[in-house]
Amino acid sequence: MNRGFLTNARSSLTNIVRSPWFVQLMVFLAVLGPGIITGMADDDAGGITTYSLAGSQFGFAMLWTFIPMTVALAVIQEMAQRMGVVTGKGLAELIHEKMGIRVSFFITIALLAANFGTTLAEFVGISSAASILGVPRFVSLPLAVIFLSWLVIKGTYKSVERIFLVASALYFTYIISAFLAHPDWKTAAVASVVPQVSFSQAYILMLVGLVGTTISPWMQYYAQSSTADKKIPLARLRDSRIDAVNGSIWSNVISWFIVVACAATIFAHGIPVNNVVDISNALAPLAGNYAAALFAFGFLNASLMAASVLPLSTSYAVCEGLGVERGVSKKFREAPVFFGHYFGVIVLAAIIVSLPGVPYLSVLFLSQVVDGVLLPFVLIFVLLLVNDRDIMGKYVNRRLFNYIAWATVVIMIGLSVALVVTQFLPSS
């Protein structure tokens, strides 16, 4: 009887493994990675702080932004990964080839400045989350540098990607935290589809910060370069596009729950918060110690993941612009500029954050606003390249994708101008 059972089980398993749907699933899982990792790393220290502040200061009022932001992010990330698959090249490399060294130089310098500011924010996040969990800064920051250096310099693309995917799964702690906060789900659902707009300086600043952290310039560089580095074949382009859209959706789902958790607790009780430590401490009596601990753990996980992905995106950009070897699977001696830049950025960021008097909240939040201002310029280059038939052939953008992407550019320029104008108006 046992032999018959084992024989039937083995036969059933063999049939499943040989079935077309299972084969397709395995192929898709092999392609899965760049989109999910880019999307989840976007919920970094600065992003989580921005989403937490949006919920803490405005309640459910800004939930309506997530639907249009998700659509825009999915379109933009799909373009980047499509270019990576079709050309096998990163964004910086294509800019260098098609637009010349001067344009490539200036856009790379701008990216480096914005990314380094955001990387500082990630290490601020590591320090803040570790302090919530009882680990002092002089211990957490050196350990983070050691871990992040070992992860990339000693790893291969596959091993690094697996660790990033595990880190991505841990973002579900924020969904649990939101349920522990017991929000009014009906009110949150209505607020997600009915816009509540204000023209106050604080509202516009937060709106630019939200869009800036949800659709960041570094994302296009990392998504395209990591896709090219993974060497996804053109035959699997459809799976890569699904990966990009899937990552965009889950990124904003997590962000939505963060806003809901803080709106249902901190905003509902009118508690003032100045930093992530305050936010975590405020959650404890309102949503329970588990919610506060999960928030802090999620924040540490997000900060560590982004503290690796952000420097990687700039290392890709620098090496592609210079025309030198790059790639996580390379040995250090094969790509010294790639790994040297990565190591230098994380060490310098950790040193700066270790200095006393660092304005934590300003670094975390304003870095997202800077990204929001820089984003339109990066998107213009992406759109020019993805619509170039010499580069993309028959895989150029469809008209609908161009409409959505150009609308995103126009909206971001409008928000940036509005932000500047409101600086000269009385605060309200």
DSSP symbols for 308-342 = HHHHHHHHHHHHHHHT----TTS-TTTSHHHHHHH
12, part of any domain:
no
Identify the pLDDT of residue 236.
84
115, part of any domain:
yes
336, part of any domain:
yes
Could you tell me the CATH number of the domain that includes residue 379?
1.20.1740.10
Structure tokens at 389: 């038939």
Tokens 């213009």 map to which residue? 380
Contacting residues for 395 by C-beta, under 8 A, at least 6 apart: 82, 86, 237
Q: From the CB of residue 63, how many other CB atoms can be counted at a distance below 10 Å?
A: 26
6, part of any domain:
no
Identify the pLDDT of residue 344.
93
pLDDT digits (tens, 9 = 90+) for 403-415: 888 888 888 777 7
Identify the pLDDT of residue 34.
77
**Of the listed ranges 48-57, 179-188, 371-380, the one predicted with least confidence:** 371-380
Q: 121 and 42 in contact (C-beta within 8 Å)?
A: no
Identify the pLDDT of residue 26.
44
Q: What percentage of the chain reaches a pLDDT higher than 90?
A: 20
How many helices and strands in the chain, by DSSP H and E? 19, 0
> Which has the higher per-residue pLDDT, 127 or 40?
127
Q: What percentage of the chain reaches a pLDDT higher than 70?
A: 83
Identify the pLDDT of residue 16.
43
3-class SS of residue 165: helix
pLDDT digits (tens, 9 = 90+) for 243-260: 888 889 998 999 999 999
Identify the pLDDT of residue 18.
52
Identify the pLDDT of residue 425.
56
Q: Is the pLDDT of residue 235 over 50?
A: yes
> Which has the higher per-residue pLDDT, 273 or 10?
273
pTM, full prediction? 0.82
Query: Can you say whether residue 426 is alpha, beta or left, with left for phi > 0 and alpha for psi between -120 and 50 degrees?
Result: beta
HSE-CB of 316 using CA atoms within 13 angstroms: 32
Identify the pLDDT of residue 388.
92
Identify the pLDDT of residue 287.
59
How many structural domains compose the chain? 1
Identify the pLDDT of residue 424.
56
Identify the pLDDT of residue 419.
60
Confidence of residue 197 (pLDDT cuts 50, 70, 90): confident
Contacting residues for 365 by C-beta, under 8 A, at least 6 apart: 46, 49, 50, 53, 209
Q: Is the pLDDT of residue 154 over 70?
A: yes
Domain holding 201, by residue range, is: 33-422
Contacting residues for 228 by C-beta, under 8 A, at least 6 apart: 84, 85, 87, 88, 89, 90
Angle at the Cα of 172 from the Cα atoms of 166 and 176, rounded to 5 degrees: 150
Confidence of residue 289 (pLDDT cuts 50, 70, 90): low
4, part of any domain:
no
pLDDT digits (tens, 9 = 90+) for 341-395: 999 999 999 998 888 776 655 665 666 566 666 777 888 888 999 999 999 999 9
Confidence of residue 25 (pLDDT cuts 50, 70, 90): very low
**Chain mean pLDDT for the chain:** 81
73, part of any domain:
yes
335, part of any domain:
yes
269, part of any domain:
yes
